[in-house]
Amino acid sequence: MTKLSVNINKIATIRNARGAELPSVTEAAIKLQEFGAQGITIHPRPDERHITRKDVYDLKPLVHTEFNIEGNPHRPFIDMVLEVKPEQVTLVPDGEDAITSNAGWDCEKNLGFLKNVIAEFKNAGIRTSIFLDPNPEMVKFAAETGTDRIELYTEAYASNYSKNKEDSIKPYIETALEAQKYGLGINAGHDLSLENLKYFADNIPNLLEVSIGHALISEALYMGMENTVQAYLKRLAKW
**pLDDT tens for each residue of 79-95:** 999 999 999 999 999 75
Q: What is the CATH number of the domain that holds 165?
A: 3.20.20.70
The per-residue pLDDT for range 61-80, each reduced to its tens digit, is 999 999 999 999 999 999 99
Domain around 58: 3-236
The answer on whether 49 is annotated among ligand-binding residues is no
pLDDT at 98 exceeding the cut of 60: no
Q: Which of 66, 151, 178, 190 is catalytic?
A: 190
Q: What pTM value is reported for the model? A: 0.94
CA–CA distance, 226 with 57 (Å, rounded to integer) = 25
CA–CA distance, 187 with 160 (Å, rounded to integer) = 20
Q: Structurally, how many domains does the chain consist of? A: 1
- The reply to whether 74 belongs to the active site is no
Q: Which of 183, 132, 178, 185 is nearest to 154 (CA)?
A: 132
Residues in the chain: 239
Q: Which of 205, 213, 168, 165 is nearest to 189 (CA)?
A: 213
- The reply to whether 190 belongs to the active site is yes
The answer on whether 18 is annotated among ligand-binding residues is yes
Could you give the count of Cα atoms lying within 13 Å of 151 in the half-sphere of its Cβ? 32
Q: Which of 43, 66, 151, 178 is catalytic?
A: 43
